[in-house]
Chains A and B, each alone.
Chain A
Amino acid sequence: MKTIEDIKSTIKEVILIERLELEDITAAEINDQASLFGDGLGLDSVEALDVVAGLEEEFGVKLQGMTEEEIREHFYSVETLASFVASKNDVVTK
């Protein structure tokens, strides 16, 4: 079982740094609350869809087919994304 902290660190290290190859930033420097889009990490729509594929692969959840509104809501930050993944699956222990 994974803690919410585990999920956050997988999102940062495996998905954002390794999969998306974000440059000039380390996993440790990514703030849990910082916005993934816009002024934060500045992800674009293609990168957001690649995050979906990464989450599906890492956490065994099925996320394809989300509306843009749902993506905007749950993909706001690493924090909201981790909670969303946790809610999709029984992967969390407190």
Chain B
Amino acid sequence: MRKKDRCVVTGIGILNSIGNNKEEVLGNMKKGTTGIHKITRFETDKFMSQIGAELKNYDPNMHFSKAEQKMYDHCAQYAIISAKEAIEDSHLNLEEMKQQRIGLAFGTCNGGINSLEEQGNIKQLDQKRTARYPFYQQGDDVATFFGLNGPINTLNTACAASGNAIGFAYDMITEGYADVMLAGGSDSMSPTVYAGFNVLQALNSEPCSPYSDKLGLSLGEGAAFVVLEPLSKALKRKAFIYSEICGYGLSSDSYHETAPDPEGAGIRFAVELALKQSGVDKEQIGYINTHGTGTKANDSAELKGLENFFGEKLFSNILFSSSKAYFGHNLGAAAAIEYVTTLLAMQEGLLPATVNFETAREGCEYQNLISNNMKQASPEYFLCNNSAFGGHNASIVSKNWNKSQTSIAPIPRSNKTERVVITGMGMINGLGHIQGGAFERIFNSNAPIDECSFSLKEYDQSLYQRRMNRLSQFGIGAADLALKDANLEVTEKNQQKIGLIYGTSRGTLQSAEKYFNSIFENSPEYASGIYFPDLVVNSTAGKIGKKLQIKGYSSSLSTGGNDGLMSAFYGFEVIRKAIHDDCLVGAGDEHSELSRAIDIAYGLDDSEFPCLEGSSFLTLTSLKQAQNLGKKVYAEILGVGTTFEGSYDESSSFGIQMQKAIDQALEQAETTADEIDFIFYNSDGRPKRLKGMKEQLAQKFKNQKILCFNDQIGYGESTSSLNHLYLAAEYIHFGLKIPRYARQIAPSVEETHEGGVSRGLVVSSSVNGNNIAMVVGSVR
């Protein structure tokens, strides 16, 4: 097993409405300046507010060539600029580190929305710009810009996204999957998003001041990044250390698509999980940078949740503030911007304030709120919290290293490692809905059926709600099947003990189309309020959580082809680290006109495979729990590796990183290529890529069957990678008992005592060269 390490921040970069770099931002914070002014980029006359926190004097020519400006939209540009500052600040020379695993965890709420909305319609779309819309593209752009080859993941949990990204990056460092991680987020000002907050009447007509009697938020834009490294390496190279990430927590309110649980139970639980993981006591927390948006619903719920967790007396002594009055609500970039600005303030022994503050709001009257002027204090431990549409929450616990660069006292952290097994499976697609094994249905169907006719209303009326988009219907159905298959009933007692990780690259475009059309074909001031909440792609994960009442560790992510397998990897870590004993992992795809346009923009219309829509879910469980409860176990996940090609240029070296991902997975599983009985691989089916992948695998595995099932079930960008893990687990469990077909898959392998086979490898590669390999096997 890889050695666990501690994780520290050795570089920071930032770009927002109060500064184009960290010095400018800190200077303006010290002056108490707000960056919220009249919106310049689009008409706001008909909205209830005309202000926002736009970047000032932004000139892309200072950073990018004309060709690059065509390639990267604002969201990607901001991200690259702040990531570059963070890398320079860390004094790492990435050029000299090509052999090291440098990864990226990126958080965004609206991804490439500018690239779509600037076209003014969704009927006649330009391919180049349309290809920038899916939610993995900006993160992949950043990774490619810097030529990164480590784990790359985009977290799309809306306003908690970059907090979740920092958390995921922390996992990659502490669990030994990466040597360096860039973590952060970016979002750009969007008239479409502005119109949505307008119709929900969440905007403040004056610059926002959370917890004050001025209700409403101010939208902002910008990006921020941190460079994360293992503590041992940072100390060895004598790097300056800003802070140590001691742990983080995620949760889901599972309450409402836009409003938080009024008691703040979700954020409270995220904080509880974060502290538990970090080993830091609540009495040690000296400062909380809160989400504090300024809306009535958020602010009081959040403070209630915190007060309930810490207790009235303790909470009244913990300094807190929301930084959003300086630079607005930066949505997916909010957490990273707030984290970085907290670190900037701490460098001078200060804490951020909530500026523009006059009178406290009823229910938000706290003496420990830092208002208007930054406060001189150097707490040793602090929290950064964020909450999102869809109900996702993220809380990060950090240690302030500014107090002393030699503070190396170890922090107690649980080093317990659990083994992870698959105990439930469910899939919904053109084949119908399937609980458990799917091979029979796949082999018995004459041809793959593109369209999925599943109706949640018919499956279980109680899980349906009106206007529910098809992606959510598929997801709720498949997750329910995986729970039933694992014999896992969600109750009030265990609902916080089950995790839910969901992968989707595009979200529900059916709903997004309706929202865009309400603006393009009508007028922004009459934007559809009911479809706006589905514009954030974590809305589907939020709906699954809400309908199934799952409230534990929750996330939603995008990779452009590995979404399902990346979810399984994340869920594997959740169980492995003993955060929960059960975690649902899944992914889904939905057809629509816009989805078709994106396929064409990526050349996926050339795929040799039919197009799949539907959803698949697996229930992951700790082996200990599965054995204690006598559960059926399909297979154990033994090892994972993930890499990125680092280039969009598919020249001869393309695919080398896939080999590295496989090697990493084999190493973690403590096995070799020879001991693998079969290989199931997922490809998008574009002829050149498919051929390349087959050849790469055939070079490494000369004696085993190398199979892809997308010709029989279809290719779904988000779902297909998980389908291959699904089938691998089924084959390991039933193997030769699957009538007629088993020997076709692995003609010569020896069966295990249960009739299954011993060990398989699942490999998947995304449209932009993200690779994941996973070794699964029978439990020994």
Contacts and interface: CB of A to CB of B under 8 A. Distances in A.
B217 to A, nearest CB: 15
Contacts of B257: 46
Interface in A19-50: 19-23, 44-47, 49-50
A46 B533 contact: yes
B48 A57 contact: no
B467 interface: yes
B200 A46 contact: yes
A20 B530 contact: yes
A65 B529 CA distance: 15
B201 A21 contact: no
Given A46-B200, A46-B257, A46-B258, A53 B526 contact: yes
Contacts of B258: 45-46
Interface in B518-565: 522-523, 525-530, 533
A22 B466 contact: yes
A53 to B, nearest CB: 5
Contacts of A23: 466-467
Contact of A56 (B200, B525, B530, B533): B525
B526 A54 contact: yes
Contacts of B727: none
Given A22-B466, A23-B467, A57-B522, A47 B201 contact: no
A93 interface: no
Given A57-B522, A64-B48, A49 B201 contact: yes
Q: Is the interface of A mostly helix, strand, loop or mixed?
A: helix
A21 B200 contact: no
Contacts of B749: none
Contacts of A20: 467, 530
B199 A49 contact: yes
Nearest to A56: B526
A9 to B, nearest CB: 20
A52 B467 CA distance: 19
Nearest to B195: A53
A76 B493 CA distance: 37
Contacts of A46: 200, 257-258, 529-530, 533
B375 to A, nearest CB: 34
Interface string A62-79: 001100000000000000
Given A23-B467, A57-B526, A64-B48, A50 B259 contact: no
Nearest to B467: A21
A50 B201 contact: no
A80 B500 CA distance: 43
B216 to A, nearest CB: 10
Interface residues of B, number: 20
A65 B533 CA distance: 20
A86 to B, nearest CB: 20
Interface residues of A, number: 18
B534 to A, nearest CB: 11
Nearest to A21: B467
Contact of A50 (B199, B466, B525): B199
Contacts of A52: 199, 201, 529
A47 B199 CA distance: 11
Contacts of B199: 49-50, 52-53
Contacts, number: 50
Nearest to B528: A50
Interface string B235-261: 000000000000000000000111100
A56 B529 CA distance: 13
A23 B191 CA distance: 30
B48 A65 contact: yes
A53 B467 contact: no
Nearest to B527: A53
B46 to A, nearest CB: 10
B328 to A, nearest CB: 20
Contacts of A22: 466
B444 to A, nearest CB: 34
A50 B467 CA distance: 14
Contacts of A54: 526
Interface string B183-217: 00000000000000011110000000000000000
A64 B201 contact: yes
Nearest to A49: B529
A53 B529 contact: yes
User: Which of B258, B530, B533 neighbours the largest number of chain A CB atoms within 10 Å of its CB?
Assistant: B530
A23 B466 CA distance: 6
Given A21-B466, A45-B259, A64-B201, A50 B48 contact: no
A49 B526 contact: no
Interface string B46-57: 001000000000
A65 B526 contact: no
B191 to A, nearest CB: 16
A57 B525 CA distance: 9
A47 B530 CA distance: 6
Nearest to A23: B466
A57 B522 CA distance: 10
A53 B531 CA distance: 13
Contacts of B528: 19, 50, 53
Nearest to B198: A64
A87 B530 CA distance: 26
A49 B48 contact: no
A65 B258 CA distance: 18
A27 to B, nearest CB: 16
Contacts of A65: 48, 201
A52 B199 CA distance: 8
User: Which of A46, A52, A56, A65 neighbours the largest number of chain B CB atoms within 10 Å of its CB?
Assistant: A46
Nearest to A66: B201
Nearest to B533: A46
B255 to A, nearest CB: 11
B385 to A, nearest CB: 23
B200 A49 contact: yes
A68 to B, nearest CB: 9
A73 B227 CA distance: 53
Nearest to B523: A57
A90 to B, nearest CB: 22
Contacts of A56: 525-526
B522 A50 contact: no
Nearest to A55: B526
A53 B524 CA distance: 10
Contacts of B201: 49, 52, 64-65
B528 to A, nearest CB: 7
Contacts of B530: 19-21, 46-47, 50
Nearest to A22: B466
B222 to A, nearest CB: 27
A45 B528 CA distance: 14
Nearest to B200: A49
Contacts of B198: 64
A9 B199 CA distance: 23
A22 B201 CA distance: 22
Given A46-B533, A52-B201, 15 more contacts: A21-B530, A22-B466, A23-B466, A44-B256, A46-B529, A46-B530, A47-B529, A52-B199, A53-B199, A53-B528, A57-B526, A64-B48, A64-B201, A65-B48, A65-B201
Q: Which 5 A-B pairs have the closest CB atoms?
A: A50-B529, A57-B526, A49-B529, A50-B530, A23-B466
Interface of B: 48, 198-201, 256-259, 466-467, 522-523, 525-530, 533
12 contacts: A21-B467, A45-B258, A46-B257, A46-B529, A46-B530, A49-B199, A50-B199, A50-B528, A53-B525, A53-B528, A56-B525, A64-B48
